[in-house]
Structure 1
Amino acid sequence: MAPSEAPRSGPWDGVRDYFRQDLLPLLADLRLAIVLLLAIAALSITGTVIEQGQTLEFYQTNYPADPALFGFLSWKVILISGLDHVYRTWWFLALLIVFGASLTACTFTRQFPALGAAQKWKYYTQPRQFQKLALSAELSETDLATLATGLTQKRYLVFQDGTQLYGRKGIVGRIGPIVVHASMLLILLGAILGAMTGFFAQEIVPSGETFQIRNIFDSGPWAEGQIPKDWSVRVNRFWIDYTPEGNIDQFYSDLSVLNLAGDEVDRKTIYVNEPLRHRGVTLYQADWGIAAVQVKLNNSPVLQLPMQQLENDGPRFWGTWLPTKPDMSEGVTLLASDLQGSVLIYDNAGQLISTVRRGMAAEVNGVRLSLVDVVGSTGLQIKADPGIPLVYAGFGLLMLGVVMSYVSHSQVWALEQGGTVYVGGRTNRAQVAFERELLALLEGVAERSGQEALNV
């Protein structure tokens, strides 16, 4: 061949060679997978310890620059590095992708070849081949048919060609690691999908009000399609059950999902650990508050006054101010701490005047003040994560793969030659149990053949 006709190595050939000879072995390296897994675990712990998705004021208050936590962890470090939203940062997602690539490379370069090797077997044709096995024996005055029967009873899949025999069982144990890797890839895919397209929101809604999800505090870059725009939620009623001692037992929200026409398309009473799910969005009962107090002054119509939570270090209180004269020269402060229907009344000097319960009245500043009701507000945590089904499916598949991986792949060979049956076997795990099983099998074969001695 002339020099000008020699095959040239193009740029794609160099890329292919680099991928096969350098990159693929590096990705399939178990040490790299362990390092990546430890890094993901450490960052996940960091994302659990450091509160995610909070306001700037929260981080400035809890992680001041002077003195910084551990000497370096301040609110500036948290915000600049993205530790306030670890699971959506580019570097955390990059770790997940590289770890997924490592699992894929290991699967195709190690696990699939191991499965293929387990399925490609050969008969042993020479007695010396049995010497390479960890466990081998020689039987006289027996035949392969008796051995094949014993192997079948032990749930071996037996193949026989004249004087040669091969039996195996537990091939599912070779499939197990592949299933484990596939399940982990499914979990990673679900985590990435949720991080890119999911969102978290919080809403505080008074009883009787209708709202659309707007107060979103954390979302992925592709989450816009998950935010509902064609339906809203109405809080039909919010209430709290109390114990005989006056402590909160459980709080409930009766929610209705409304379409654009205002028609109810779904309804459910939710409470802690029993959310409402609608079209991929989950609404959890997370908190509660007091939205307003309804009162009457003498024979006036019902007045609804909004209440605000007071800033104090003790028990939670909500308060409002009610004028008792038209010129607002006098008034009283109303305080409530729960929805059991009791309101404390204070004058402008901060002195307790009276305590009034729902349906009762009290005289204040020459006015008859009647308490009609205390209106509660429900605190809802709203979440959409399209990756959750993939994550759940991945964990289910992971459990199945782990169970499959514990199954031993056992192989037995036999050769009948010169009146002697040569038998040997091996397994990939549970070596002692396999040896006991094979020895018991050979003893049973010898007994059925009327053999008096077993030479091992």
Structure 2
Amino acid sequence: MNSSLTPKSLFRRFISILANLKLAIALLLAIAVISITGTVIEQAETLTFYQQNYPESPALYGFLTWKVIVAWGFNHVYSTWWYLSLLILFGSSLTACTFTRQLPALKAARKWKYYQKPKQFEKLALSAELERGSIKSLVDLLKQKKYKVWQQDNALYARKGIIGRIGPIVVHLGMLIVLVGGMWGIFTGFFAQEMIASGNTFKIQNIIESGPFSSPQIPDDWSVKVNRFWIDYTNNGDIDQFYSDLSVIDDGGAELKRETIYVNHPLRYDGVTLYQTNWSIAAVRVQLNNSPVFQIPVAKLDTLNAGNIWGTWIPTKPDMSSGVSMLIKDLQGTALIYNQQGELTSAIRISQSVEIDGIKIKLLDIIGSTGLQIKADPGVPIVYTGFALLMIGVVMSYFSHSQVWALEQNNSFYFGAKTNRAQVSFEREMLGVIEDLSARESTNIAEPSTSLV
């Protein structure tokens, strides 16, 4: 057994592997690919939906079937154990990289020393030896260019852009906060769907997906009332937009908030967001002769993808031995009436009536249903905070960390500088400093001997 493989050395080796840049990039690409998969494959749908849209024969792309989707959790990608494991591993890699590379780099950048020997200048990206020079003149020139300057006897050190060294750390911190916010949302949030007819009140119950700690987020002390649902149509009869007038009410019936929602304009209350996503037809209100008003439910018919049609059967005799079929395709107020032989007898609009078998059938209203997608994600503010830090860190990273050294010794003046980015513009700046320094000393000084290493 190799005695060098101590627990401490194994831990260091593990951290070294975890902090590897190639591993972090591979994990990030894997997370990106899986996230894209989660947007391509519909999430949190019913088993029937996946069986209909991803059949075993023919399989999509030759392998993607509903069984594969369900078995591997592609119907709820973002809460699978393997996706969460990737997030945790990527976060661990970022943390290891921050502590083993970025923080030491910042610490090294904050530590500096004066150069006391001419040979020390030879290793710098830009170095020059002048016949004459003045530390005092150089201090003035560097301060004009926003450098922070330290001076000791015949030596000088200056720098600017230390923020550029802090930037990558802020980027890593922002990414970690984004990951934490995303995972917090997965564990504490929920996703629900409701189809509610106009005039009805509901509590959020149809939970499609929820985290293990989501119970406090699911409201039990308030409900939502659908005051009205309607659709605006274009001149061609196509749907332009659909709207839901919603009220949040407490258990005593008092209205807490009211808002009309439509696509991309949700209602937000108490950390819960209600989106307008779908619609349907719930019922028709009809009157037979002078009878009371009947509200008869309708059902969506299977048209083999030929369009949306809802239908119901209206009895015309008390014993229900005969009646008519009513078909509706939208909320524009028109219904088609078919007799028992399946023949189209008439088309009526709201407030109109038709007489069949001596019975006057009057269409009073077509009641629509609003399809609501309801979400609660407590991790969103955390994600936004992390994203803001990420953007700030990216901007900070663009600042160049530039350093300058100078030494007066033996009637010679040594000058050297380096930076971590924007090398060309930095060299132009430093050569300008050298020229200004030479001009300040004497107009008769010979051209400085410079060497770019």
TM-score by length of 2: 0.94
Q: Contact conserved, 2:157 with 2:404, CA < 8 A, in 1?
A: yes
Which moved further from structure 2: 248-257 or 300-309? 300-309
Structure-2 separation of matches of 1:293 and 1:99: 55
Residue type at the aligned position of 2:395? V
The structure 2 residue matched to 1:347, chosen from 339, 343, 347, is 339
SS state of the match for residue 87, structure 2? helix
Q: Which residue of 2 aligns with 1:454?
A: 447
Aligned-pair distance for 1:71? 4.0
The structure 2 residue matched to 1:296, chosen from 278, 284, 287, is 287
Q: How does 1:105-254 map to 2 (within 5 A)?
A: 105-254=96-245
Residue type at the aligned position of 1:418? N
Deviations 1:386-413 (A, max 9, x none): 1111112222211111111111100001
SS state of the match for residue 369, structure 2? strand
Deviations 1:140-192 (A, max 9, x none): 44311211111111111111122211111111110011011111111111111
Structure-2 separation of matches of 1:97 and 1:16: 23
Q: Which residue of 2 aligns with 1:60?
A: 51
SS state of the match for residue 247, structure 2? strand
Residue type at the aligned position of 1:443? E
Aligned-pair distance for 1:51? 2.2
Residue type at the aligned position of 2:385? A
Q: Which residue of 2 aligns with 1:285?
A: 276
The structure 1 residue matched to 2:393, chosen from 385, 394, 401, is 401
Residue type at the aligned position of 1:56? L
Matched, 1:18 2:38: no
Deviations 1:118-148 (A, max 9, x none): 0001111112211111211123443112111
- Specify every segment of 5 or more residues in structure 1 that has no aligned partner in the other structure, as ranges: 1-12
Residue type at the aligned position of 2:35? S
SS state of the match for residue 177, structure 1? helix
* Identity fraction in percent: 60
The structure 2 residue matched to 1:438, chosen from 423, 427, 430, is 430
Aligned-pair distance for 1:345? 1.2
TM-score by length of 1: 0.93
Q: Which residue of 2 aligns with 1:8?
A: none
Q: Contact conserved, 2:133 with 2:408, CA < 8 A, in 1?
A: no
Q: Which residue of 2 aligns with 1:383?
A: 375
Residue type at the aligned position of 2:80? T
Aligned-pair distance for 1:69? 3.6
Q: Which residue of 2 aligns with 1:323?
A: 315
SS state of the match for residue 93, structure 1? helix
Q: Contact conserved, 1:183 with 1:395, CA < 8 A, in 2?
A: yes
Q: Contact conserved, 1:205 with 1:377, CA < 8 A, in 2?
A: yes
Q: Contact conserved, 1:140 with 1:451, CA < 8 A, in 2?
A: no
Structure-2 separation of matches of 1:199 and 1:297: 45
Which moved further from structure 2: 179-188 or 390-399? 390-399
Aligned-pair distance for 1:301? 2.3
SS state of the match for residue 45, structure 2? coil
Aligned-pair distance for 1:75? 2.5
Cα RMSD for the two superposed structures: 1.7
The structure 1 residue matched to 2:403, chosen from 399, 406, 411, is 411
Structure-1 separation of matches of 2:182 and 2:328: 43
Aligned-pair distance for 1:15? 4.2
SS state of the match for residue 283, structure 1? strand
- Specify every segment of 5 or more residues in structure 2 that has no aligned partner in the other structure, as ranges: none
Distance 1:57 1:400, change over 3 A: same
Structure-2 separation of matches of 1:116 and 1:409: 13
Aligned-pair distance for 1:447? 2.3
Q: How does 1:64-79 map to 2 (within 5 A)?
A: 64-79=55-70
Deviations 1:28-79 (A, max 9, x none): 1112212222222222222222222222222223333344444443322322
Deviations 1:300-335 (A, max 9, x none): 222211111111121211111111121222211111
Q: Which residue of 2 aligns with 1:97?
A: 88
Deviations 1:59-102 (A, max 9, x none): 22333334444444332232222222221111111111111111
Structure-2 separation of matches of 1:360 and 1:231: 39
The structure 1 residue matched to 2:298, chosen from 300, 307, 322, is 307
Q: Which residue of 2 aligns with 1:10?
A: none
Q: Contact conserved, 2:263 with 2:275, CA < 8 A, in 1?
A: yes
SS state of the match for residue 393, structure 2? helix
Q: Across the two proteins, how many residue pairs are aligned to each other?
A: 443
Distance 1:342 1:65, change over 3 A: closer
SS state of the match for residue 325, structure 2? strand
SS state of the match for residue 338, structure 1? coil
Residue type at the aligned position of 1:408? S
SS state of the match for residue 375, structure 2? strand
Structure-1 separation of matches of 2:330 and 2:139: 78
Structure-1 separation of matches of 2:232 and 2:27: 48
Aligned-pair distance for 1:376? 0.9
Deviations 1:342-396 (A, max 9, x none): 1111111111111111222222222222221111110001111111111122222
Q: Contact conserved, 1:142 with 1:451, CA < 8 A, in 2?
A: no
Q: Contact conserved, 2:315 with 2:321, CA < 8 A, in 1?
A: yes
SS state of the match for residue 184, structure 1? helix
Q: Contact conserved, 2:337 with 2:347, CA < 8 A, in 1?
A: yes
Structure-2 separation of matches of 1:70 and 1:109: 43
Q: Contact conserved, 1:211 with 1:232, CA < 8 A, in 2?
A: yes
Structure-2 separation of matches of 1:372 and 1:67: 47
SS state of the match for residue 43, structure 2? coil
Structure-2 separation of matches of 1:219 and 1:27: 31
Residue type at the aligned position of 2:152? D
Matched, 1:421 2:413: yes
Aligned-pair distance for 1:17? 4.3
